[in-house]
Homo-oligomer: A and B are copies of this chain.
Amino acid sequence: MALLSVLTPVLALVLCLVVGFLFMRSRDAEAKLRAPGQTKGASKSDFRPWVDQDLQDDTEITAGGDEDEWVDGDEEEDLAHVPYSPPRYPEETMLQRSNDLYTLMNQRRSVRFISPEPVPRGVIDNVILTAGTAPSGAHTEPWTFVVVSEPKMKHQIRLIVEEEEEVNYRQRMGDKWVNDLARLRTNWIKEYLDVAPYLILIFKQTYGILPNGKKKTHYYNEISVSISCGILLAALQNAGLVTVTSTPLNCGPQLRLLLNRPTNEKLLMLLPVGYPAADATVPDLKRKHLDDIMVHI
């Protein structure tokens, strides 16, 4: 008993130490978990008290708030300027052309049922070239299109994606899992990754390497590459090919290693490409009307 009473202050000391340690630890964890962008957003709102919530959104974070304008070669202000006079059409022609493209693009659908028939390689080259005409922040052209037609490689990609998908679905579905198994299979089994003659894996280059060896941040690289993907989808539709836009981001690291891409490249999208299967179907859904997506002031 006497011994215990002697120990009391020690016990108290231990208590203090533990409390202190755990506080440090939890603050540490917070710091580690905070993305650099968030810190940025915060510091910004410091000297701009009026700024509202929006400044905290993910765009702000990924953007870095620099290079507001994308004039191709914005960073190359010293480049000589040359006259620019693209073709100009009469108003009737403009209306006709814009309506024709709308009709064509409005037929585009995401298609899971792709035919194994071979597709001319020259067409794939042309659609990639077309995607490469997209604008990009400071003309960094931060995209790499990995076109996979080799069957073994396609299958390895399928295995990685399906494993990841199964994990996703199991986690997402929880209890419903057992009952919905049949329906889920149709979701996580991606036969088209074997069947489609081409898989196009689109990587964004998150930074470049300067001549002096330093890293150069590619601002807006994700937005730039997504814009490029939009043009790619238009080019595929224009050629009579189909695809389904997928973003298997959790597989990014594995697929990057499989395809031997450098660490500055992150997988953004995976597009299986080919002709639609003869018995292809799509869900019977509609698109929003013009009034639901456009506001005129």
Contact = CB atoms under 8 A, between A and B. Distances in A.
Contacts of A80: 283-284
Contact of A58 (B51, B146, B164, B222): B222
Contacts of A82: 281-284
A178 to B, nearest CB: 17
Given A26-B26, A253-B55, A257-B52, A282 B248 contact: no
A239 B101 CA distance: 9
Complex copy number for this chain: 2
A226 B235 contact: no
A183 to B, nearest CB: 7
A95 interface: yes
A296 B287 CA distance: 35
A77 interface: yes
A91 B239 CA distance: 9
Interface residues of A, number: 161
A295 interface: yes
Nearest to A224: B226
A167 B219 CA distance: 18
A72 B283 contact: yes
A196 interface: no
A8 B6 CA distance: 10
Contact of A290 (B61, B70, B125, B143): B125
Interface in A224-276: 226-235, 237-242, 244-250, 252-253, 256-257, 259, 263, 266, 268-269, 275-276
A59 B147 contact: no
Contacts of A179: none
B30 A249 contact: no
Contacts of A54: 252-253, 256, 263, 266
Given A61-B58, A68-B248, A233-B134, A284 B79 contact: yes
A132 to B, nearest CB: 5
Nearest to A168: B68
25 contacts: A5-B5, A22-B25, A26-B30, A33-B38, A41-B250, A54-B252, A63-B247, A65-B250, A66-B168, A68-B164, A68-B247, A69-B246, A80-B283, A85-B280, A86-B108, A86-B276, A87-B107, A91-B123, A97-B238, A101-B234, A101-B238, A132-B287, A141-B288, A229-B230, A231-B234
Given A37-B249, A53-B263, 5 more contacts: A59-B266, A62-B222, A101-B239, A102-B126, A128-B294
